[in-house]
């Protein structure tokens, strides 16, 4: 028997929201459609020279777009045309994009996204991803405003990511567990392949860019050394795995157990990753899968947001591993709390 498609699953789950009129379902469906288009382009990237600089012309005489620009445009187009969104925030755009059209007049939601995460991997045939986060608008009507995005991660209505990997997967949560769908290219549908994803309480993979070691807070340095120590009882040394695409690293750790850390560095004293469209959605998913996501001292989803592109350090993954890393942070990096 064929497994459930994303569309079937979304319709079935609508019963979980007795007062909802189907807008969120339609919004998730719109995201699924844009994801398929982006996946198609990612798959043929090397063939059509889409990797060239923005502004060049390809063999069809079309303007060549960089993949991240292409992905941004696809998601904006799908979300604007769907009519459920009154504003979009994107890593690619300095300001929010208000959606002002007849069909979005009664839109209840805003979407924050990183349309193509893992930019250093785009040109080298390594997994990249899309991250999205959905909030209910706080403004009353008309196109959405910046204020609509100034909500804590705990207010997210849904969040998810798409990983363009050896297969394409869409993973999302609406706060009732995490479900993963794999794109079946033969029918062009996302099919439920990973129902009720739960991460391990403990793991033995750590993911951090150790090239920045000298610039890490002492707590992180000591934790990395702890990961490398020999200790049979706790299966150490742990394995180090770092792809450099946050979605891919976190997806792997979600499945096998592990910790992902992007701490502050002397170069990025506030961390590198963005709270609104990278850390909050990933944190929502990880928590829903039984894991933890913190700054090293505080829960990510409870951070007050003051700027659209606000950065934060991120420690996330298996709960016991995050607790241990936080223990090291509080012992050795008390002055570096964010």
Residue 139 binds which entry of ligand AHM, Mg ion, none, CB below 5-8 Å type-dependent = none
Residue 246 touching ligand AHM (CB under 6 A): yes
Residue 119 touching ligand AHM (CB under 6 A): yes
Encoded one letter per residue, x for contact with ligand AHM by CB under 6 A and - for no contact, window 281-310 reads: ------------------------------
Nearer to ligand AHM, 27 or 71 (CB): 71
Residue 249 touching Mg ion (CB under 5 A): no
For ligand AHM, the binding residues in 134-193 under the rule CB under 6 A are: none
Residue 209 binds which entry of Mg ion, ligand AHM, none, CB below 5-8 Å type-dependent = ligand AHM
**Candidate list 54, 58, 101, 120; residue touching ligand AHM; CB under 6 A:** 120
Looking up tokens 């990025």 gives 268
Residue 240 touching ligand AHM (CB under 6 A): no
The token pair at 127 is: 């997994």
Closest CA to 204 of 247, 229, 234, 246: 234
Closest CA to 290 of 261, 245, 314, 321: 321
- 2 phi-psi bin (left φ>0, alpha ψ -120 to 50, beta other): beta
Residue 237 touching ligand AHM (CB under 6 A): no
Residue 68 touching Mg ion (CB under 5 A): no
Closest contact distance (angstroms) between CB of 225 and Mg ion is: 28
Q: What is the DSSP letter of 231?
A: B
Question: What are the angstrom distances between the C-alpha of 177 and each of 20, 90, 97, 160, 228?
Answer: 18, 25, 30, 12, 33
How many angstroms separate the CA atoms of 256 and 134, rounded? 27
CA 246, 303, 90, 167 torsion-angle sign: positive
Chain residue whose CB lies nearest Mg ion: 117
Residue 114 touching ligand AHM (CB under 6 A): yes
Residues in contact with 65: Cβ distance below 8 Å, sequence separation at least 6, in sequence order: 50, 54, 73
Q: How many CA atoms lie within 13 A of 311 on its CB side?
A: 12
Residue 287 touching Mg ion (CB under 5 A): no
CB 312 within 8 A of CB 275: yes
The strand pair at 158-164 and 128-136 is best described as antiparallel
Residue 30 touching Mg ion (CB under 5 A): no
Q: Which stretch binds ligand AHM (CB under 6 A): 55-63, 116-124, 132-140, 323-331?
A: 116-124
Closest contact distance (angstroms) between CB of 187 and ligand AHM is: 30
Q: What is the DSSP letter of 3?
A: P
Q: Which stretch binds ligand AHM (CB under 6 A): 81-89, 118-126, 144-152, 218-226?
A: 118-126
Kindly report the number of other CB atoms within 10 A of residue 80's CB atom.
18
Residue 244 binds which entry of ligand AHM, Mg ion, none, CB below 5-8 Å type-dependent = ligand AHM
Residue 315 touching ligand AHM (CB under 6 A): no
For Mg ion, the binding residues in 108-127 under the rule CB under 5 A are: 114, 117
Residue 336 touching Mg ion (CB under 5 A): no
Secondary-structure percent of the chain, ordered helix, strand, coil, rounded to 5: 40, 20, 40
Residue 118 touching ligand AHM (CB under 6 A): yes
How many angstroms separate the CA atoms of 83 and 87, rounded? 10
Residue 245 binds which entry of ligand AHM, Mg ion, none, CB below 5-8 Å type-dependent = ligand AHM
Q: For binding to Mg ion (CB under 5 A), which residues are involved? A: 114, 117
């Amino acid at each position: 028997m064929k497994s459930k498609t994303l569309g079937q699953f979304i319709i079935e789950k609508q019963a979980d929201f007795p007062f909802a009129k189907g807008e969120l379902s339609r919004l998730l469906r719109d995201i699924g459609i844009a994801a398929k288009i982006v996946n198609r382009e990612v798959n043929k990237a090397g063939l059509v020279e889409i990797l060239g600089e923005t502004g060049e012309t390809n063999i069809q005489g079309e303007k060549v777009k960089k993949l991240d620009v292409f992905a941004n445009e696809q998601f904006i187009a799908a979300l604007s045309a769907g009519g459920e969104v009154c504003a979009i925030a994107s890593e690619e755009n300095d300001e929010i994009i208000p959606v002002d059209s007849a069909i979005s007049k009664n839109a209840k939601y805003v979407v924050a996204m990183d349309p193509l995460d893992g930019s250093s991997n785009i040109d080298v045939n390594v997994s990249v991803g899309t991250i999205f986060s959905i909030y209910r608008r706080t403004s009353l009507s008309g196109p959405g405003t910046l204020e609509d995005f100034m909500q804590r991660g705990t207010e997210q209505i849904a969040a998810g990511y798409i990983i363009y990997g050896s297969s394409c997967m869409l993973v999302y949560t609406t706060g009732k567990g995490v479900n993963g769908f794999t794109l079946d290219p033969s029918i062009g549908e996302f099919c439920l392949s990973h129902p009720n994803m739960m991460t391990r309480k403990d793991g033995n993979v750590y993911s951090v860019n150790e090239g920045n070691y000298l610039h890490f807070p002492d707590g992180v340095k000591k934790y990395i050394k702890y990961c490398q120590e020999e200790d049979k009882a706790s299966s150490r040394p742990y394995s180090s795995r770092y792809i450099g695409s946050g979605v891919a690293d976190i997806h792997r750790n979600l499945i096998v157990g592990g910790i992902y850390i992007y701490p502050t560095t002397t170069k990025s004293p506030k961390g590198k990753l963005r709270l609104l469209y990278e850390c909050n959605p990933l944190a929502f998913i990880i928590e829903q899968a039984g894991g933890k996501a913190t700054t090293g001292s505080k829960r990510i989803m409870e951070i007050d947001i003051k700027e659209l592109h606000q950065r934060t350090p991120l420690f996330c993954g298996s709960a016991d591993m995050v607790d241990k890393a936080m223990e090291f942070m509080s012992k050795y990096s008390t002055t570096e709390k964010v």
